[in-house]
Chains A and B, each alone.
Chain A
């Protein structure tokens, strides 16, 4: 297995819903006119609370500096696990589950805080730049660690930290934070970048303007329904997470879908905003899922974390996590 340390230096920021008009110009440029910027990593996730933006330093310059923009203090680096070898047993669980044991748990054990971003194409594990030596040291046993420099992968320098690390005992990690599961079903999808212009207006509508309308409808019909939409454009690849209702607004055959047409339900983690310092949250969720071989997506936002699991597994997942939660008490 290879662990690639990508060259993007990322900022994680949050924009309050009501302030978003201030930023739409920059956001639209980042999302739809990427050739006009030097940005290579951009992700925008809308939750009922806010817009979370993950963007590289080049892209961050496109956003006006404003008090409305809360930025997490650190610079983050994205890690990406590449299977490397050609092993092709297709029964392998996908996504976060796959890396739960090998990456997420060891980092949690070392008290390294992670920020997750799953996309259609892959999973990014964001760590603070200052934590990188600890990360590479922790993971060096399991992975070939490569750094991406100018688009080419090179062996990462040994960072020279060899002592002071005690392999901690495997501890049970009960789920600490409250969980909720909205009623809407989601799909994770992508589209051909060439066709992006044809749906740009629709996407803009979904991202910035469908808020009020939807809210009204939702609050009336289904109180379990939440507003959640994620768009990312990372190294030329587009990834979209949207609920089925939103998906239906797109023209047929335009969005990439899996042959099996799988749908996902969400588990939202956190009652209070989670902050950036607490460790082990992703591990708490992903470990039980990995144990049960349930594939999952995991998207961290500024305030809360979101896991997506296959709709048919949602009950089992909730139960398993509830059990874990119960163990705390």
Chain B
């Protein structure tokens, strides 16, 4: 200080005041200031604050250090340490009758003059002031003064010996007898009271850091180090202390005081000030000489390292509050992360160190971020419908409703999923049919169609290629005219139709039950179309009539039935002409394709096959009935690619759970993010090599992680069990073993190894009857297993339980 570099201090209690001290003390008050003109005499501190000079005190020359009285004081009582070691109490207040009137001007004089390096008020006893002085051969370097003490030099020193001391007119104000004297023949460079106890003082001495305990002054705890400057206890963490030496900051843990717990990266220039932030835990600010930045070290996540060698991570940042070199800085005592800096030319700048923001998504739709002491949560307002549509929300709800876990009535899974997505419905029905027919087929039957079922219609159709194509005629029932021609139904085609759900199990090709179920569900149009495609126009008309007369039915269906009944095979009839144009105006796709079918040229059913609104299964079934093998194959191929591209789950019917299916599922997941459906679907019946596909494993792992993130531990476990049932390779290894007391080997493990040894169990204590045979000795070392405490029979595991 002393004229060269100003220092700055915030008032500990009147938080809008601060003092700048160089050769004199200047008290400022901070006021809010807008962008408008400042009051005369105000100094701008920041965009919205300004400082007004309240008073100047130049009573104390040769200032070396200043410390602000820690108790509440309206008069700004300060202790000033001088170059000659004297400590003077002074004030910046204007009230001459303050309660500190008696204290102001009081001097505390060491026996031998030398520089006062540091001052520290005791945080618990506000009257105690510790002063750290330079070395003197015969004097103490740490003096603790009681500012209310009444000692005067006359009381202890003969008057004639006061010759050399400066003339003190007010002798009563001079105190020469400290409360405690510590550190003889040593120098004290920095001081700090420990908040743990009023009588513990940490001092940076000449070559060591020492903790003095005033309850027993003959003892001190110390550690030899060079880092003795600027000791300061972390206000939030009372065992953590920072000190520095030249460019290096050392952080100490007082509980483990032998060496610094960490040292911060060394700065090329010597440090001048190091200070813990009082409002934020673990934030340390450092300043080096001739620097325009303040470096901040964030030790937020490192309260204390545990082991010897753990070097905690520190986040280093820096702030540049102004363009000049910074002479000193001070954290604001209460305002979070606020700091004021002063430059050598006494330019002041008041700013807030911006807090790092950490951000976290919750596994459910909210977002949180933390900034300083504030925690912000961002959730969407109200019940946003888009939120409900969000796949994550849906997957969560589905997981809760045990979606995917019904392995018997597989189709029910789409109901569990909410029964609202036609693609899912199609998917689960497909899987259901596949499962059903796999079970039905005799695996030993020739042709091994069973292996084809899960391979999808595409493979099934391909396998029928080149087989003899027998033509058979279908006859219209209920219509006099001859029907259009379709190829005969091969075994593969029947299987395909079964998978499409048109016909049920067995070799029966009757679509009656299917129609009935559709009618029951009120899908009149679809039922009519299916009936028509099965060349049963009467049934179709009947269904439409039924639909029109039902409660929810559309009366227009009667009209459609009428139109249908007018079917004529004649190529150039008016009916045909009108139907082919007007059908496009029908809103229902099934009604539309019915007329498309009736008006189409034989063998050319594009109007039906490429009507996208008609379910894939119906179109495929239609194709199976009416297309020739080559056409069918081409059509299926084309449709499959379309489905794959679109990621349409209806396409699983075609691809099955093959590589193609994985491709399709991939584009579905890409489109929707629904790893849940992907995982369950692929587990349902895929062959092993498909399950091993890294994409499939990736979906499964992601779904598991998702369940974990939602903390659905039970659902996760259920899923894992489900998975291990369907995919034996994912079965976890045994995690609990029973091991032998003697050899330590697992009993069950050795069990499985026994057959290789060629000697039966019976030789080694397998007792009595074969039904009760147990292994009662360790198969590894042959020592007996422990006995039961009651019956004293050796315990053991039944032989049959051995894998």
Contacts and interface: CB of A to CB of B under 8 A. Distances in A.
Interface in A239-289: 252-253, 255-262
A268 B183 CA distance: 32
Contacts of A94: 137-138
Interface stretch (A28-36, A62-70, A81-89, A172-180): A81-89
Contact of B226 (A4, A121, A150): A150
B176 interface: yes
Contacts of A146: 224
Given A82-B185, A258-B164, A122 B137 contact: yes
A18 B472 CA distance: 140
A87 B224 contact: no
A154 interface: yes
Interface stretch (A190-198, A199-207, A217-225): A190-198
Main secondary structure of the interface of B (DSSP, over half): loop
Interface in B191-239: 207-208, 210, 212, 217-220, 224-226
B161 interface: yes
A41 interface: no
Nearest to B182: A86
A26 interface: no
B168 to A, nearest CB: 10
B762 interface: no
A172 B702 CA distance: 93
B137 A123 contact: yes
Contacts of A168: none
B113 A190 contact: yes
Nearest to B174: A259
Contact of B137 (A86, A121, A148, A152): A121
A153 B228 CA distance: 13
A39 B134 CA distance: 20
A150 B226 CA distance: 9
B686 to A, nearest CB: 69
B313 interface: no
Nearest to B225: A152
A90 interface: yes
Interface stretch (B104-112, B374-382, B386-394, B520-528): B104-112
Nearest to B181: A88
Interface in A80-117: 81-83, 85-88, 90, 92, 94-95
Contacts of B703: none
A140 B197 CA distance: 36
Contacts of B208: 153
Interface in A115-152: 118-123, 146, 148, 150-152
Interface size class of A (residues with CB under 8 A): 35 or more
B140 interface: yes
Given A257-B165, A260-B161, A87 B218 contact: yes
B4 to A, nearest CB: 8
B190 interface: no
Contacts of A154: 224
Nearest to B113: A256
Contacts of B153: 259
A259 B109 contact: yes
A208 interface: no
Nearest to B222: A84
B162 A259 contact: yes
A275 B603 CA distance: 132
B552 to A, nearest CB: 93
B111 A95 contact: no
B332 to A, nearest CB: 30
Contacts of A123: 137
Given A82-B186, A87-B218, A122-B137, A258 B111 contact: yes
A23 interface: no
A196 to B, nearest CB: 12
B630 to A, nearest CB: 92
Nearest to B4: A194
B207 A151 contact: yes
B280 interface: no
Interface string A46-80: 00000000000000000000000000000000000
Contact of B115 (A4, A90, A192): A192
Contact of B157 (A118, A152, A259): A259
B136 A261 contact: no
Nearest to B140: A88
B296 interface: no
Contacts of B138: 92, 94-95, 295
A237 interface: yes
Contact of A120 (B136, B162, B165): B136
Interface in B70-117: 83-85, 109-115
A153 B185 CA distance: 16
B207 A261 contact: no
B114 A194 contact: no
Contacts of A85: 218-220
A120 to B, nearest CB: 6
Given A259-B153, A261-B162, A192 B62 contact: yes
A122 B182 contact: no
B365 interface: no
Contacts of B162: 259-261
15 contacts: A83-B184, A83-B185, A85-B220, A87-B217, A120-B112, A121-B134, A122-B137, A152-B207, A153-B207, A153-B224, A192-B2, A252-B166, A256-B112, A256-B114, A257-B112
Given A92-B184, A95-B137, A150-B226, 18 more contacts: A86-B220, A87-B218, A88-B180, A88-B217, A94-B137, A120-B136, A120-B137, A121-B114, A121-B134, A123-B137, A151-B226, A154-B224, A192-B83, A192-B84, A252-B166, A256-B84, A257-B113, A260-B111
A-B pairs, top 7 by smallest CB distance, nearest first, are A261-B164, A94-B138, A256-B113, A121-B135, A260-B161, A192-B83, A257-B164
